[in-house]
Amino acid sequence: MLLLVVLALSAASGGADTATAPKPLFGGTLVVAAGDPGVLNPAITSSGQVHPVTGQIFNGLIRLDRYFAPTPDLARSWTVSKDGKTYTFQLAPNVRWHDGRAFSSADVKFSYDEILLKLHPRTRTLADVIERISAPSKNVVVFRLKQRYAPFLTWLDEDNGAILPRHLYEGTDPLTNAVNLRPVGTGPFKFESYTPGDRVVLVRNPAYFKAGFPRLDKLVFRNIPSAQAAQAFEAGEVDVYMFPSGPDSLRFLNRPGITVTERGREGLARVVPLILNNRKSPFDDVRVRRAMAYALDVEFIARTAYAGVLRPAKSPLTRFISWAYTSKVQQYPHNVARANAILDETGVRRGSNGVRFRTSLIYDAGFARQAELIKSQLGDVGIVVDLRLMDMNSWVRRLYIDKDFDMGYTNFTHPADPDVGWKRIYLCSNYVKAPFTNGSGYCNAEVDKLFNQAVDVLDQKKRGDIYKKLQRKLASDVPVIPIADGIGPWIYRNSEFRGFGNAGSKEQFAFGEKVWWTKGSSSRR
């Protein structure tokens, strides 16, 4: 009998659904509603449209589990030298590229030296840390670092460190190489076809180096934008809905045969901040920023604008990075009287019309409801907010390039490690003219020092203590006001597909390896 598993959001952190499932079966086609990926080269982009596809075709050296601990992928084991500066990786034996060529340590060295450290928008910053990469034997790769760098291993997954075939990329321009559209990887699925705007089809790699995997025969990524994906999912035409909106998530919650869960997306978790321009009056006064934090009802914003799929933020860092997270920081429970009192104290008094000051909020279309709520809640304490809707590119230019704004609202991800995604929002040296850097202009030498210290500490607990100290400091200084914490769920049909929940914190990029079909056959024909 088919056991229908219904996972409510609140229970989403519970066990994987294989815990209740029988023995995996073989065969079947899984259909995914996804974006149009364009180039299928994972080493030159951090795009969320590309990696759900390329993550099934390629591998990194490691994969991150749900708690961001490294687990084997192309590297089956590794050792770290005493000084913490040399990482030696033993590669899995008998790995072959999809075209039949043997994979070796030379592919790893080439991928990093020639592509990842030059062209991957995130990973190229590692070039400052890595002294040299060597391949002493076919199955061994050694990374020598210039200094101790605690988050090093978290960079080595497919998302940030996909290994490409040297024999197809050497001597070419990786940005324009035609192989980018018919990728050759080492992963569980082989590329079959890509029809732009329509679909990407992948088929099982029978020679996959992890014996017994994958179980499915085929993965089809249909290019369906999120507004249409809900209907396609409802009509039974797709089995996985990658990036549902809040209302869509609620729509499918508690339906038999459907799982709505954040599990497998932890690696994309973040705290969504309201960015204040700290270099502009009156936001340069920390008391004004605190008063605004009291004025905002983040519980209400999370419940309504995020339809309850994100939680109100209790700290500047996401709760999903649990080893570093603390909620024991200055909290700003919704309190209009308190906000008014502080503002009166600072001298930002109400005029005869009840207005303290007039300001503006820039946001893009995805955040209309959040913007309305922020406007109305700040209005309650006499701060009049003009809403300025703009498209994403204009928003980026205003906030990060021209720095011509009062308040701004958008998403950030804190990918897997506080040093990778979180630091950039606060670091003084990261107040530069580039997108998604330190937008607020906050500058605190002590904060910069702590961030730099943290990467030198290899002991995770001690390192976590530094980040907890940072959270306390940042919660007290509120350069940005943390609004909502979480990832938002993804949705799949558990009545026909099992084995989700086992592929780590970026499962959305790697589910194909373990998922299986309940109507499959018991042996591989």
Partner 1 sequence: MLLAAVAAATFVLISLAPGDTAQVLAGQAGADPEYLALIRERLQLDRPLPYQVGSYLQAAAQGDLGFSIIQGRPVRDAIFARLPASLLLAATALALSALLGVTLGVIAAARRGAAVDAVISVFSLVAYSLPVFWLGQLLVALFAVRLHWLPAGGMRSADAPGDIVDVARHLVLPATTFSLLLATLIVRVTRTATAEALGEDYVRTARAKGMSERRVLLRHALPNALRPVTTVLTGYLGIILTGAVLVETVFVWPGLGRLLYDSVLSRDTPMLAGMLLFSSSLVVTANILADVLYRVLDPRTRFQ
Residues of this chain that interact with partner 1 (CB under 8 A) are 29, 31, 36, 38-41, 44-48, 119, 121-122, 124-125, 175-176, 178, 180-181, 195-199, 220, 222-225, 228, 231-232, 234-238, 391-394, 396-398, 411-413, 421, 424, 430, 432-437
Q: Which structure tokens are listed for 57?
A: 């075709």
| Beta-bridge partner residues of 387 | 361
CA nearest neighbour of 89 among 122, 136, 125: 136
CB 414 → partner 1: shortest distance, Å? 11
**Order of strands across the sheet that contains 258-261:** 189-195, 199-204, 218-223, 29-34, 240-241, 490-493, 258-261
Of 398 and 472, which CB lies nearer to partner 1 in the complex structure? 398
CB 37 → partner 1: shortest distance, Å? 9
DSSP 200-246: EEEEE-TT-SSTT----SEEEEEE--HHHHHHHHHTTS-SEESS--H
Distance CA 352, CA 93 (A): 77
Of 182 and 349, which CB lies nearer to partner 1 in the complex structure? 182
Q: Is 178 helix (H, G, I), strand (E, B) or coil?
A: helix
CB 147 → partner 1: shortest distance, Å? 19
Per the listing, tokens 């050497």 go with 170
CB 500 → partner 1: shortest distance, Å? 19
Phi, then psi, of 266 in degrees rounded to 5: -55, -35
Of 31 and 466, which CB lies nearer to partner 1 in the complex structure? 31
Residue ranges in 368-412 assigned as alpha helix (H)? 368-379, 392-396
Pairing of strands 140-145, 86-91: antiparallel
CB 518 → partner 1: shortest distance, Å? 17
Distance CA 97, CA 190 (A): 9
CB 72 → partner 1: shortest distance, Å? 26
- Cα 365–Cα 369–Cα 373 angle in degrees, nearest 5: 135
Of 482 and 501, which CB lies nearer to partner 1 in the complex structure? 482
Name the region of 164 (left: φ>0; alpha: ψ -120 to 50; beta: rest). Answer: beta
Distance CA 189, CA 216 (A): 9
Distances (CA, A) of 377 to 290, 294, 298, 352: 14, 10, 10, 20
CB 393 → partner 1: shortest distance, Å? 3
CB 333 → partner 1: shortest distance, Å? 30
CA contacts within 13 A on the Cβ side of 84: 13
Pairing of strands 357-363, 383-389: parallel
CB 46 → partner 1: shortest distance, Å? 4
Of 197 and 354, which CB lies nearer to partner 1 in the complex structure? 197
Of 121 and 347, which CB lies nearer to partner 1 in the complex structure? 121
Q: Is 268 helix (H, G, I), strand (E, B) or coil?
A: helix
CB 3 → partner 1: shortest distance, Å? 25
Of 178 and 337, which CB lies nearer to partner 1 in the complex structure? 178
DSSP 294-338: HH--HHHHHHHTTTTSSEEPSSSS-TTSTTT----S------HHH
Of 199 and 469, which CB lies nearer to partner 1 in the complex structure? 199
Distance CA 412, CA 458 (A): 26
CB 270 → partner 1: shortest distance, Å? 10
Of 209 and 233, which CB lies nearer to partner 1 in the complex structure? 233
Q: Of how many residues is the chain composed? A: 525
Of 178 and 445, which CB lies nearer to partner 1 in the complex structure? 178
Of 278 and 438, which CB lies nearer to partner 1 in the complex structure? 438
